[in-house]
Amino acid sequence: MTDTIQVIGAVRRYGGKTAVDGVDLTLRPGRITCLLGPSGCGKSTLLRLIAGLEPLDGGRLVAGNQDISDLPPELRDFGLVFQDYALFPHLRIEDNVAFGLTHLPTVERRARVADLLARVRLADRARAFPGELSGGEQQRVALVRALARSPRAVLLDEPFSGLDSHLQTEVRSVTLDLLQSSGATVLIVTHDAEEAMQMADDLALMTEGRILQRGTPEACYRDPVSIAAARLLGEAEIIPATVGDGMAHTAFGNVAATGLADGPGQVMLRPDALGPGTTVRAQVSKLRFVGQGWRATLSVDGVSVTARLTERPGDTLLVDINPEAARAFR
């Protein structure tokens, strides 16, 4: 049931605007791929292209050995979970889940629906209508409905964005368990970096219709290919640098710059990149307590950076750059 899904050079244009601009993406069997990008970057369009809800203006889509670029959505065999869940308001929960199972005999169909609903602890809500369910319950129904046909892949479009923030963590872990136990090929589209890193086996970063970087969440976070990619995965401060002898020299110290040509450059700092040390004395201002520690603006020679500190600093602080949390770019 699970195939490798390959997106090859996918293009989608609206009028003069290119929403998806030559995207390559591989979804591997049994793995969860998260597509992370800011709103309007074309990630939902890409999902709709894969699902067949929008036509490709260029490129191909291959599932296993089969070219599915021109198949209508009902023949592509993908399960979809929508941002608004898209449950059929006129059908009971059990009929929503059974909607795509018309090919099964009645007895088998009922058994399958009951089994699926039991797995997300909704067996007692089978006769309810979608409007009677909470947001979290609706999300679970949408998920098992998509899984009911054992599709070759499951595509989820911002599946948690409609939920209250205190529900998100719990629903995410339920979803993750279910997706992993089903062994399905999964694509999750999201704008939330934390969510993407929590869910993903493979991560793809997207801006302005293009894929910036692919890799494991850790690799993408630690080694962003560009400043844009770095910013997608969390807070990042950019400071000016001068590259020379394989090092980027900044007001706060030096960062390895292997392979970068000499000349002006930039250094990206994560919030934990600056910590107490011995190298440079920084001025401390705008000190704020934020629960797990302190946030402060550190300034050296007119260059200011917002940093997260575990201890309360004084008016000045001797700091070092943590090389794990800093990267140099041209």
Residue in 23, 51, 184, 230 binding another protein, rule: CB under 8 A:
51
Min. distance of Cβ 83 from another protein in angstroms? 7
Query: Which of residues 52 and 209 has its CB atom nearest to another protein in the complex?
Result: 52
b/e per residue, 257-268, with b = 16+ CB within 10 A?
A: beebeeeebbbb
Side chain identity, residue 28: R
- State the residue for tokens 């603006």: 297
Asked if 185 and 27 touch (Cβ cutoff 8 Å), the reply is yes
Query: Which of residues 75 and 261 has its CB atom nearest to another protein in the complex?
Result: 75
Query: Which of residues 48 and 119 has its CB atom nearest to another protein in the complex?
Result: 48
Query: Which of residues 179 and 317 has its CB atom nearest to another protein in the complex?
Result: 179
Burial of residue 94 (CB within 10 Å: 0-12, 13-18, 19+) is buried
Query: Which of residues 100 and 313 has its CB atom nearest to another protein in the complex?
Result: 100
Site track 264-283 with another protein (rule: CB under 8 A), x = hit: --------------------
User: Which neighbouring-strand residues pair with 109?
Assistant: none
User: Which neighbouring-strand residues pair with 284?
Assistant: 298
Residue 109 binds to another protein (criterion: CB under 8 A): no
Residue 48 binds to another protein (criterion: CB under 8 A): yes
- Cα(148)–Cα(23) distance, integer angstroms: 29
Residue 72 binds to another protein (criterion: CB under 8 A): yes
Residue 73 binds to another protein (criterion: CB under 8 A): yes
- Cα(256)–Cα(328) distance, integer angstroms: 7
Residue 163 binds to another protein (criterion: CB under 8 A): no
Residue 78 binds to another protein (criterion: CB under 8 A): yes
Name the token pair of 68. Answer: 């599915």
120: left (phi over 0), alpha (psi -120 to 50) or beta: alpha
How do beta strands 153-157 and 78-81 pair?
A: parallel
Residue 217 binds to another protein (criterion: CB under 8 A): no
b/e per residue, 223-248, with b = 16+ CB within 10 A?
A: ebebeebbbbbeebbebebebeeebb
Min. distance of Cβ 163 from another protein in angstroms? 16
- State the residue for tokens 């969510």: 195
Min. distance of Cβ 181 from another protein in angstroms? 21
Residue 160 binds to another protein (criterion: CB under 8 A): no
- Cα(266)–Cα(141) distance, integer angstroms: 47
Residue in 70, 84, 108, 311 binding another protein, rule: CB under 8 A:
84
Query: Which of residues 78 and 252 has its CB atom nearest to another protein in the complex?
Result: 78
Name the token pair of 110. Answer: 């009922």
Q: Within positions 87 to 106, which residues make up the interface with another protein, using CB under 8 A?
A: 87-90, 99-100, 102
Residue 149 binds to another protein (criterion: CB under 8 A): yes
Min. distance of Cβ 86 from another protein in angstroms? 4
Residue 69 binds to another protein (criterion: CB under 8 A): no
Residue 67 binds to another protein (criterion: CB under 8 A): no
Min. distance of Cβ 48 from another protein in angstroms? 8
Asked if 142 and 131 touch (Cβ cutoff 8 Å), the reply is no
Residue 16 binds to another protein (criterion: CB under 8 A): no
DSSP label of 16: T
* Residues lying near another protein in the complex (CB under 8 A): 48, 51-53, 72-80, 82-90, 99-100, 102, 142, 145-146, 148-149
